[in-house]
Chain A
């Protein structure tokens, strides 16, 4: 197997639990312990009530394609082989949006609003990333 060349997430102490979740094939986001609102990407305090207390809550992994772009020019040589590929902004059922790739979908079938679900790729022994596929 050839080595995985693409950039891997370099989590901070704040974001480590998110990526640990992905490793276990879970999408975890911060849930404010005070006002119960979900937030992503991880932040040290809740923008709604300024509480610094939170727990990690799992998301359904179900959502819709909020918008997307088809990349015809890659930002780094490690992505050249994937061109053209879809960068997706997914809106999960819980209202959280995430940047990812849409995979397992022919380009002519990609539509704003299409239902999608999370899929996981264990790209190295240590690291996993999440992507989305048609639901």
Chain B
């Protein structure tokens, strides 16, 4: 499978300004990312024959039902391959992996994966009859996960806070991060911020912002004559097992156990080979649970692990070097920014936050309330 996947390459990345000022039209951001990602790759839109994702230009009349056809018309190309990948915040990143699969299988020559997001975030009342009578916004589930992890493993608020501190440290080195100009924060800053979903403080929660991004995937052959060194996906896996959290065996473990194992096995690399990682951090508890599930530390040891220094720039495997959802961006399906950041790192274009000689990167994302999980291992050629 690895050899098959290597027939495809990620050749273009682009993101708009990520901003807390809302108001740009999604159609305008969409046009920007489509043009931007083509320019980054050095490809013409005429070469694009695949679209995975939404098309906010197709909002009226018949076009609404045919977003890919409308894409062909608006951009003067001919889409011959399309699909949707609904997976919450991981919609875009999962789309990239499916684009790699499609190109590797020879179903498309060049697939564009756009992702556009406006205001969306914590605080929306659960619309579900099981939750809304009790004043539970779905995201507050993460408060229950954190509380359970604390009760089972002795994880502390200071350890949760450390995840936010690392994210901000990295965001302070990334001018594109929403919280870049706010500068670094300390564990005390997190603990002193106001309580939202106890034990999660304000600074334990991701930011709410606007922005868009896109990734372009084409054949390894075409990639050889493009602007940048191609990045390949060596291994990937996804899982959609949990809908109701009432029915999960554990609130402190996710499908990541399976997707991690499978992705590592497919890629033929080990944990020690990972130079840089993007781990979805909607809330500070998430990376703690996800890193355990992926096997970077023992189940329950995620707290001490995030305090060990391994995950910070200068450490063995820096995590969320763009600032993560906590400090870089959580717009739309922010998993797309995880892929974009890994590609930057693997190209060696990450500026002040560059991980030296980064050659293998790991992405792991959960969508919804652990309703999906997927893992991918990327490498430069």
Question: What residues of chain B lie closer than 8 Å to A84, measured between beta carbons?
Answer: 195, 198
Q: How far is the CA of A76 from the CA of B197 in the complex (A)?
A: 14
Q: CB within 8 A of A99: which of B134, B148, B151, B197? A: B134
Q: How far is the CB of B127 from chain A (nearest CB, A)?
A: 9
Q: Are A73 and B129 in contact (CB under 8 A)?
A: no
Which A residues are closer than 8 A to B by beta carbons?
A: 6-11, 15, 19, 39-41, 66-76, 79, 82, 84-85, 87, 89, 96-101, 111-113, 129, 131
Q: How far is the CB of A114 from chain B (nearest CB, A)?
A: 11
Q: Are A67 and B144 in contact (CB under 8 A)?
A: yes
A-contact bits for B235-253, CB 8 A (1 contact / 0 none):
0000000001111000100
Q: Are A76 and B135 in contact (CB under 8 A)?
A: yes
Question: What residues of chain B lie closer than 8 Å to A10, measured between beta carbons?
Answer: 129
Q: Is B196 an interface residue when CB atoms closer than 8 A count as contact?
A: yes
Q: How far is the CA of A82 from the CA of B135 in the complex (A)?
A: 10
Q: Given A8-B133, A9-B129, A99-B130, decide whether A66 and B148 contact each other with a Cβ distance below 8 A.
A: yes
A-contact bits for B181-208, CB 8 A (1 contact / 0 none):
0000000000000111111100000000
Q: Given A75-B125, A96-B246, A97-B247, decide whether A85 and B135 contact each other with a Cβ distance below 8 A.
A: yes
Q: How far is the CB of A25 from chain B (nearest CB, A)?
A: 16
Question: What residues of chain A lie closer than 8 Å to B244, measured between beta carbons?
Answer: 41
Q: How far is the CA of A20 from the CA of B131 in the complex (A)?
A: 17
Interface residues on B, range: 35 or more
Q: How far is the CB of A36 from chain B (nearest CB, A)?
A: 17
Q: Are B137 and A67 in contact (CB under 8 A)?
A: no
Q: Are A101 and B130 in contact (CB under 8 A)?
A: no
Question: What residues of chain B lie closer than 8 Å to A68, measured between beta carbons?
Answer: 144, 147
Q: CB within 8 A of A72: which of B125, B126, B195, B247? A: B195
Which B residues are closer than 8 A to A by beta carbons?
A: 122-126, 129-137, 140-141, 143-148, 151, 194-200, 244-247, 251
Question: What residues of chain B lie closer than 8 Å to A9, measured between beta carbons?
Answer: 129-130, 132-133
B196: nearest chain-A partner, CB-CB:
A73
Q: Are A112 and B151 in contact (CB under 8 A)?
A: yes
Q: How far is the CA of A116 from the CA of B84 in the complex (A)?
A: 44
Q: Given A89-B245, A112-B148, A113-B151, decide whether A66 and B251 contact each other with a Cβ distance below 8 A.
A: yes
Q: How far is the CA of A131 from the CA of B246 in the complex (A)?
A: 16
Question: What residues of chain B lie closer than 8 Å to A67, measured between beta carbons?
Answer: 144-145, 147-148, 151, 251
Q: Are A73 and B198 in contact (CB under 8 A)?
A: no
Q: CB within 8 A of A100: which of B134, B143, B148, B251? A: B134
A98: nearest chain-B partner, CB-CB:
B246
Q: How far is the CA of A23 from the CA of B229 in the complex (A)?
A: 65
B152: nearest chain-A partner, CB-CB:
A112
Q: Are B196 and A72 in contact (CB under 8 A)?
A: yes
Q: Are A7 and B136 in contact (CB under 8 A)?
A: no
Interface centre among A41, A71, A85, A96 (most CB of B within 10 A): A71
Q: Are B151 and A87 in contact (CB under 8 A)?
A: no
* Shortest beta-carbon contacts, A-B, top 7: A69-B143, A70-B198, A112-B151, A75-B125, A7-B132, A67-B148, A79-B135
Q: How far is the CA of A67 from the CA of B148 in the complex (A)?
A: 5
Q: CB within 8 A of B144: which of A15, A72, A87? A: A87
Q: CB within 8 A of A69: which of B125, B133, B197? A: B197
Q: Are A89 and B251 in contact (CB under 8 A)?
A: yes
Q: Are B131 and A11 in contact (CB under 8 A)?
A: no
Question: What residues of chain B lie closer than 8 Å to A74, measured between beta carbons?
Answer: 135
Q: Are A87 and B136 in contact (CB under 8 A)?
A: yes
Q: How far is the CA of A129 from the CA of B335 in the complex (A)?
A: 38
Q: Are A112 and B247 in contact (CB under 8 A)?
A: no
Question: What residues of chain B lie closer than 8 Å to A79, measured between beta carbons?
Answer: 135
Q: How far is the CA of A26 from the CA of B197 in the complex (A)?
A: 30
Q: How far is the CA of A7 from the CA of B125 in the complex (A)?
A: 9
Supply 10 further A-B pairs (C-beta < 8 A) apart from A6-B133, A41-B130, A97-B247. A7-B132, A9-B132, A40-B246, A66-B148, A67-B251, A69-B197, A70-B195, A76-B125, A112-B151, A131-B134
Q: Given A69-B198, A72-B198, A73-B197, decide whether A6 and B135 contact each other with a Cβ distance below 8 A.
A: yes
Question: What residues of chain A lie closer than 8 Å to B132, measured between beta carbons?
Answer: 7, 9
Q: Given A9-B133, A67-B148, A69-B147, decide whether A75 and B124 contact each other with a Cβ distance below 8 A.
A: yes
Contact sample, A vs B, 19 pairs, CB 8 Å cutoff: A41-B246, A67-B144, A69-B146, A69-B200, A70-B198, A71-B143, A71-B197, A72-B197, A73-B197, A74-B135, A75-B136, A75-B137, A76-B135, A87-B136, A87-B140, A89-B144, A98-B130, A99-B130, A101-B135
